[in-house]
Structure formats: structure tokens, C-alpha cells
Chain A
Amino acid sequence: MANDRISEKRPWTFYALAILFGAFLLFLYGPMLVIYLLSFQGENGGVTFPMTGFSLVWFGEVFQKGQMADLPVSFGRSMALASLVCTLTVVISVAAGLAFRRRFPGSGVLFYLAVASLVMPSLLVGFGIGLGFQFLGLETSLFTSALGAQLTWTLPFGLFAMFAVVNRFNRAWEEAATDLGASAWQRLRYVTLPILAPGIFGVAMGAFTLSYDEYARTTLTIGAKNTLPLEIYALISSATSPTLFAVGTMTTAISFTAILVTLLILGRMNRRRNLVKA
């Protein structure tokens, strides 16, 4: 080895990888930045540069009667569905995550079924559910077929996330609780769930986000009334005005707020626990 001395200077690979990472960030956020910028397009401007001025008129347009009138309503639907999906995912995957700490008859099969659900092409899952409903003579709708379709996606995700969460859980905590006279319910309520809380919260946020912008599985199972992503997609093919960009800017703002709130809450939870480790 020629270059076997320790040096204070960073190797050239550091700079090469830094440039690569920079390019990645640009690729990721560049197009989105363009959309955010264009959503403030002047009144007479179009969907491309140059900007003819600066206005909030396109944001107002979203809430006007007309073409875009369904956006706020579909946003409401998306939120309602995402909340329900999130709740069910948390309840089921927390229970399953705790159960999977031990082997039980069929645990292997169940695990692989969950994996299969993740790798199955999402469009096909939606298609299958849609067909199934038709076959049974049921109407596809938001809280039946669409809910089920989304759960095929969020439940395995929730389960795997819980594996990681439960992995760091020390069984002795539960034994200590039992030793101190806690009933099974008290043990869950006062020891297991509070200790797992940050992880469970993460699962909830993940499930919510997955549901909120799910497209492929929902599109064939939603029935007559669209969720927000479906509504936007429908508009992209028909309307061409910066209003769509305004929608994008607003939904992104909502997502980022959600992420920020999550991080703040998680930060607080962790600070409470790990104070003074340093």
C-alpha cells in the first residue's frame, strides 16, 4: 500500500460522494422547488416560466366554485380515510408486533404472507379487490374497498416497523411489572405501551402518510368519490393552470407541518428519557 499514512485531509472520495449527494438533492428537490415557485405565478402567467409577477390568486382559485371545487372535499375524504387507516394499523400492528415476540403455530406463514403483501404489485392488489367487490355485487367505496386496499399496504409496513420497535424492548420490564403485582392489563397500560410509545407514534405517522398519498391501490377501489391524490391526478390531465401548483404547495406544506410536529413530539419523548446520558 502506497498511501498508508494517516492524514488530516479528507480523501478525494469524500468530495466525489459529496458532489453525488448534492446532485441527488438537486434532483429530488429541484422540480418541487420549481412547482412551489410557479404556484405564486402572476395573474396572467401560465404553467411555465417566466413568472409574470407575484400573486396568491391561484391559491384562491382552489377554493372557488368550478373545476377545482372538489379539492377541499376530497382533501377531507383523504384525511378521514388516513385517520381510520392509521388507527387500525396502529392497533393491529402493535398487537401483532407484541405477539410476534414469541413463535406461535403459523407465525412463519403469517410473516411470509405479510412480506408477500408488500412485494405484490400494488395496482394488481387494487384491481383484485375491485374485481372481488364487483363479483360479490358490492359497491366499491371509500370506507370499504378503499380502506381494505390501503390496509394491505399499511399493515405489513406497520408490522415490520413494530418488529424494530419491539426488538429494543427488554422483556424484564414486563416481568418486573408482573413481579410488582401488575395484572396483564395494567402491565400493558402502565409499562409496555408507554415504553413503546415513541415507536408506536412513528408507526402511526408512517401509516397516515402512506394512506394520505396512496394512489395505485386506491384508484381501482375508490368508487365514485375521489381522495385528494386521485382528484389531483384527474385534474392534471384536464386542467392546465398554476392552480395545480398551488394545490401542490399547500399539500406539501401540510405534510411538512405533520413531519415537523412529529419530530418535535418524538424529540420531547426522547429528551425526557435520555437526559444527561452525556
Chain B
Amino acid sequence: MDPRFDVELVSVTKRYGQTVAVDDISLRIPRGTYCCLLGPSGCGKTTTLRMIAGHEAISDGDILIHGENVSDLTPIKRGTAMMFQSYALFPHMNCLDNVAFSLKMRGVAKKERHAKAREFLDLVHMGNYAERLPAQLSGGQQQRIALARALINKPHVLLLDEPLSALDPFLRTKVREELKRLQRELGITFIHVTHSQDEAMALADLMVVMEAGHIRQAAHPRDIFERPVSPFIAKFIGSHNVLHVDQGPIAVRADRCRLGSAEEGPHVRGEVIAVEYQGAMVRVALKTERGDEVSALVPDQLFYRKQAEPGEAATLVWAEEDIHALAEA
């Protein structure tokens, strides 16, 4: 077995009849990685997760976990555990029995499994809620129970299907921090499906951007943000302007752009179509003469020294060194 990787996907393909949901993807996830699968809806990220989990059969290719080919194994034998989008807590069992469920299935005696379940409830700070039913808990609390239930089997890999989408924005940031802390403490690999770039950027050691059943780029979020490979990636992760120049498409980060005049260097002319105050920054959106929509994230002080109004003509300028060439889409 290869000790370097927790999960390896080898030419994995999923077909539903004629449609190809996941097309020949390969990926290696190193030990103890927080990996985010990111992409627009329908890109195959959830299908990929479900194939790793063993809830979806693979049409072609292989999945290895800790070096072992698990393609035909049941979820429990793979050493994976999944946290479902809606948490899927059993509504007729209290939290303790929910968490102890897998031990019960293995025939562990009641006293022993309850003791173990309490241990995991404490791990997620839900020790005081053992007797509650899921319906009596808030979304965030339900999520912790689901987490404890998934972790009690000591999985090699925890799979999370859009775990934060059901939470309100404030809670989302908090739970995000907790997930990251937990992953670091447990030292196991988390694979987290999301459609939010913010979430992936904040959490991931390895960010995998998918589109139309393919992996378009897989790297550390910082590498992806600084060196997106294609116009799709640059647009999808946001805060990038994709422009078409003679040499081909280029990306320039919106926070490296400002409003100025043509003499200052590389630039594009356009008309201001929106001005959004965002606190520390002001986002000015322009439509270029070619029809591209671009924007500049301008520090508020700078913006209010020389304001722009929608409808005005303006020139977006940036420095030569901030240009990042993209592969043709």
C-alpha cells in the first residue's frame, strides 16, 4: 500500500445511460487532507463523492483508499463515513441512539455502545443533548450529532455533502472553523462538496474545481487563486477579471485593478454599470467596449477620493506584473 495517499481515484467514470456524469477523472488525495470538491451544480462533484462513499456504483475506473481497491466494497468496509446534506438523522431515535447506531448494527452491547456514543457526543460538545430527539435540535446542533454519528466508526475518510448549506450565514462561518479544527485534530482526510468558493478557499488544503464531469484544476486554493488555468476557473472562483487581448485570454485580480487613465499602463475602457459599497472595499463594475464585464475592488478611501457613478465612462488600469495568462478555453 502507498502510505502517501488516503484516497486515489483512477480514471473514474460514471454514466447514467447515455449521459456521462463523471468523465474519466483521476485524483490523489494525500494523507490528512482537507479536500474540497467545488463546482457549479451538475458538474459531477456530488456524484464523485457518492462514488467514493460507495452509494453509487462506478461505471469505470477504480477507487483506492489507503492503497486498497475499494471499488466493490460496501461503505462500512471502505472505512469511509458520510455526512449527508440534510444530516439524515433518524427521527425516531434520540441523539445517543443515533450516534450509537453503527455500534448497535455491529452487535455491541448496549452499555458499551452508549458509553462510546457519549464520548463522541462530548467530542462535538453535545453531551447534554443525549436524550433529545433530532426534531428538538437546531440545524447546527443536528449537524454536530451527524458528525459524531459519522466519526464513531473511526473512518479513514469523512465525506461531507454540502454540510453548511442548511445553516444561516453567521453559523456557517462558525461551523466552518469547527470542521477545520476537527479535521486537524483527528488527522484524517475530509472530502467536502460545496458550490461556494469562499467555503472551499477557507477550508481546503486541496481544492478540486470540477466542471461538466471533469476536474479542471486541483491545487491549493492559493495556487488556484493566483494561477487559474482557464477563463472558467478564473470566473468561477471570483474576484478575477477575464479579458481578451491579442495574445489570448488573461486574468487580472479585481483587487489589483483600479480606475485611472490610459497613460498609466495596461488598461481597458468601459462604462460604469454598478457601484457596490462593501465596507472596506467598493466594487465598481464596468462593461468594456468589447462587452466583457469586469470589476475593480477599490479600497474605500481611494474610491471616495474620486468617486464614479453608473453611466460614466471609466478606464480600468492595472500593473503589467498582475497579468496572468490563461489557457484558451
Interface residues of A (CB under 8 A from B): 170, 172-173, 175-183, 186, 190-191, 194-195, 197, 272-277
Contact = CB atoms under 8 A, between A and B. Distances in A.
Contact of A275 (B53, B86, B135): B135
Given A272-B133, A274-B135, A173 B88 contact: yes
Contacts of B80: 179
Contacts of B101: 177, 180, 182, 190
B135 A179 contact: no
Nearest to B82: A179
29 contacts: A175-B82, A176-B82, A176-B88, A176-B90, A177-B90, A177-B101, A177-B105, A178-B55, A178-B75, A179-B54, A179-B81, A180-B101, A180-B105, A180-B149, A180-B153, A181-B76, A181-B105, A181-B106, A181-B153, A191-B90, A194-B92, A195-B90, A195-B92, A272-B92, A272-B133, A273-B91, A273-B135, A274-B135, A276-B135
B236 interface: no
A194 B153 CA distance: 24
A276 B138 CA distance: 11
Contacts of A186: 105
Contact of A183 (B55, B85, B91, B105): B105
Given A177-B101, A178-B75, A276-B135, A170 B88 contact: yes
A274 B136 CA distance: 8
B102 A181 contact: yes
A251 B160 CA distance: 56
Interface residues of B, number: 28
Nearest to A269: B92
Given A170-B86, A172-B88, A173-B90, 12 more contacts: A172-B84, A172-B86, A177-B105, A179-B53, A179-B81, A179-B150, A180-B149, A182-B105, A195-B92, A197-B92, A273-B91, A275-B135
A191 B153 CA distance: 19
B269 interface: no
Contacts of A276: 135-136
B267 interface: no
Nearest to B99: A180
Interface of B: 53-55, 74-76, 80-82, 84-86, 88-92, 101-102, 104-106, 133, 135-136, 149-150, 153
A180 B102 contact: yes
Nearest to B55: A175
B27 to A, nearest CB: 21
B133 A275 contact: yes
A148 B55 CA distance: 40
Contact of B91 (A175, A178, A190, A195): A195
Nearest to A197: B92
Which among A181, A186, A197 has the greatest number of chain B C-beta atoms within 10 A? A181
Contacts of B75: 178-179, 181
A145 to B, nearest CB: 40
A191 B55 CA distance: 17
A173 B102 CA distance: 13
Nearest to A175: B55
A195 B98 CA distance: 13
Contacts of A194: 92
A181 to B, nearest CB: 4
Contacts of A190: 101, 104-105
Contacts of B90: 173, 176-177, 191, 195
A179 B75 CA distance: 5
Contacts of B86: 170, 172
A275 B7 CA distance: 42
A172 B85 contact: yes
Nearest to A276: B136
A195 to B, nearest CB: 6
A173 B149 CA distance: 13
- Interface hub of A170, A173, A176, A190 (most chain B Cβ within 10 A): A176
B97 to A, nearest CB: 10
Contact of B84 (A175, A181, A275): A175
Q: Which of B75, B92, B133, B149 has the most CB of A within 10 A?
A: B92
A272 to B, nearest CB: 7
Nearest to A172: B88
A175 B74 CA distance: 11
A194 B91 CA distance: 9
A175 B136 CA distance: 23
Given A170-B86, A272-B133, A179 B76 contact: yes
Closest 4 CB pairs of A and B: A181-B76, A180-B102, A172-B88, A176-B88
B131 to A, nearest CB: 11
Contacts of B91: 195, 273
B54 to A, nearest CB: 8
Contacts of B85: 172
A195 B92 CA distance: 6
Nearest to A186: B105
Residue among B74, B80, B105, B106 with max Cβ neighbours from chain A (10 Å): B105
A277 B54 CA distance: 34
A276 B131 CA distance: 14
